[in-house]
Chain A
Amino acid sequence: MPNIESLDPRIRRIDLEKNPEHVVLNIMENWETYEVFHQRKRGEHHVHVGIVHAANPEMALVFAKEQYGRRLKCANMWVTQSSNIYSFHYDDEDMFETTPEKTYREAGGFKVRDKINKFKKENAPK
C-alpha cells in the first residue's frame, strides 16, 4: 500500500512535537467550509444542519447530500460559503439580555381568547 497524501489534516496527522513549524496552516491549505441547509419538504424553511469542506459550491452540494441528506427525509438542500455568513459578535450578547423579561410583547400575554369564549357562551342561541 503506497502512502496516501491526504488533504485532510485528520488523516495527514503530524507529529507536532518533532515538527513545530507545521502548527501554522497556510491559507488554502485546507478547502474552505460551506454551511449546509436542509429542507425536509417543499414549502418548509431550509434549516441549518452543519458544514462540509469542499473545493467549490457544486462539490459542497454533492458532499452535503451524503453528510446530511442521507438519514433525514429531504426535498432540497442549500450550501453557501461560510465566509458569506454575517454574524453578531459574542461580546454583544448583552443586547439580548432583557429579551426573556419582555413577555408582555408576546401575544400569549393577552387574555382576549378567554373574553371571546365568555362572550360567545353568554350570547349563544338558546
Chain B
Amino acid sequence: MESVKDLILRMADDALIIGHRNSEWTGIGPMLEEDISFSSMAQDKIGHAQALYNILHEQFNMEVPDFIAFRRNASDFKSCQFVELPIGDYAFTLVRHYLFDHAESFRYNYLSNSTFLPLKSLATKFKGEIKYHTLHADIWMKSLTLNGNEESKLRIQSAVDELLPYAMGMFELGNYESDLIDNGIFVGELALQNKWHSFITESLNSFNIKVPVIKEGEIKLGGRRGYHLTELENLINEMTEVIRTDYTTEW
C-alpha cells in the first residue's frame, strides 16, 4: 500500500509545516482575539499531522509520530513548497490560510468516502475543525476586501497573485494516482484541483479579487518529490531545536 502511505505522508507533512508556519504568529498577531484564534487553528493543524503520522505508525510500521516529524531531513519531507513559504505580512498569511484550508476541506470531504477506513474516520473527526478554519478564512477575506479599504484590497490581491502558482503546487501528482483512484481510496489530485479551483474562482470573484491565470510551467512543483525551498530547512532546524538537545527524553 505504498500509494496510501505516500498520500498520508504528503497530507501530514503539509499539515505539520503549515501548522508550524502559522504558529509563528503566536504572540505577535494583529490583535489579541485573532492571535488566540489563529494559534488555536495552528495547533489543530499539528494535531492533524500527529493523527496522520499515527496512521503511518500503526498501519505501515513506520516510526512513532515524533520520530517522523522531528528526525527526518528536509529532502525526506513530502510537503508542497506552498506551505514552506515564510509567513510574510498578515494578508499573505491569511490568503495562504484561505487557499490551503479550502483545499483541505475538499480533500477531507472526498476522504470521508474513502475505502481506507483510518482516513475515512479521520475525515469525519476533523470535519468540525476544518469548517471553523474555512469560516475564519472567509470572514477575514470578506472583511479585508468587500468591507476593507483600498490598501487592504490591494494587499489581498497581491498576496493572491503571488501565492496562486505555489497553491497550485498542492495538487502535484503523486506516483500512485491511478492506484488511489482505482481502489476508491482518494479521488485524485486532479479532481481535487478542479473542485478547489472552481470554488476559489467563484469565491474570490465575489470578493472582487481577480484570479490570475497560471500557466502549466508557472506552477511551483517538486515538493512532493523532495525538492524544497531552503526555508524548509530553516524551519526544520528551528522546529527541532529543543528535541535535538536530547532525543531520548520523554516529553
Contacts and interface: CB of A to CB of B under 8 A. Distances in A.
Interface of A: 4, 6-8, 10-11, 31, 52-56, 58-59, 62-63, 65-67, 70
Closest 8 CB pairs of A and B: A63-B33, A8-B31, A66-B37, A7-B31, A58-B139, A52-B33, A66-B40, A62-B136
For chain B, give the interface size range: 10 to 19
Contacts of B35: 8
Contacts of A55: 143, 147
A62 B37 CA distance: 8
B28 A11 contact: yes
A59 B136 CA distance: 8
Interface in B116-146: 132, 135-136, 139-140, 142-143
B37 A53 contact: no
A55 B142 CA distance: 11
Interface in B145-172: 147
Given A55-B143, A55-B147, A56-B147, A66 B36 contact: yes
20 contacts: A4-B28, A6-B28, A6-B29, A8-B30, A8-B32, A8-B35, A11-B28, A11-B31, A52-B33, A58-B139, A58-B143, A59-B140, A59-B143, A62-B136, A63-B37, A65-B132, A66-B33, A66-B36, A66-B37, A66-B40
Contacts of B33: 52-54, 63, 66-67
Interface in B170-219: none
Interface in B88-141: 132, 135-136, 139-140
Given A10-B32, A62-B37, A62-B136, 20 more contacts: A4-B30, A6-B29, A6-B31, A8-B31, A8-B35, A11-B28, A11-B32, A31-B31, A53-B31, A54-B33, A56-B147, A58-B142, A59-B140, A62-B132, A63-B34, A63-B36, A63-B37, A65-B132, A66-B36, A67-B36
B139 A59 contact: yes
B127 to A, nearest CB: 15
A54 B140 CA distance: 11
B151 to A, nearest CB: 12
Given A59-B143, A62-B136, A6 B30 contact: yes
Interface string B17-47: 0000000000011111111110010000000
Contacts of B40: 66, 70
Contacts of A6: 28-31
A70 B37 CA distance: 10
